[in-house]
Amino acid sequence: MDSGAPEEVECCWKVDNHRCGTILPEARLGNHLAADHDACGADTRRLICMWIIPTKDGSQSLCGASFRRDNLKRHMAIHLGNQKYECPICKRTYSRADTLKGHYKKFH
């Protein structure tokens, strides 16, 4: 276990053609999606995932997956697992772009 601060993630839910961009602890993402992105309601309600996924060539694609609301957390794990920013020099990974930027400035 990491003894540092809880891992923070960036919400990439599509809002008005942009990523939401809210930074929050990973444990609170489910609540945030329910409160701010209407991912709430009955467990059996079907949701469409509006998570924006950055692609290797620098463009973005929308996840678009459909799943039951009670599977939201499990589904999000896919995106959060992929949400890594890798230092091009030492290959360390960070979950936030600005953390990587800070690392880059300090060490390279």
Is the CB of residue 39 less than 8 Å from the CB of residue 47? yes
Q: Does 65 bind Zn ion (CB under 5 A)?
A: yes
Q: Which is it for strands 60-62 and 66-68: parallel, antiparallel or unpaired?
A: unpaired
- Nearer to Zn ion by C-beta: 51 or 85? 51
Q: Which two tokens stand for residue 15?
A: 């809002």
Q: Which two tokens stand for residue 66?
A: 């459909």
Q: What is the DSSP letter of 4?
A: S
- Nearer to Zn ion by C-beta: 27 or 90? 90
Is the CB of residue 69 less than 8 Å from the CB of residue 39? yes
- Nearer to Zn ion by C-beta: 6 or 67? 67
Minimum CB distance to Zn ion, residue 67 (Å): 8
Q: Does 20 bind Zn ion (CB under 5 A)?
A: yes
Site for Zn ion in 28-57 (CB under 5 A): 49, 51
Interface positions with Zn ion (CB under 5 A)? 11, 13, 20, 22, 49, 51, 63, 65, 87, 89-90
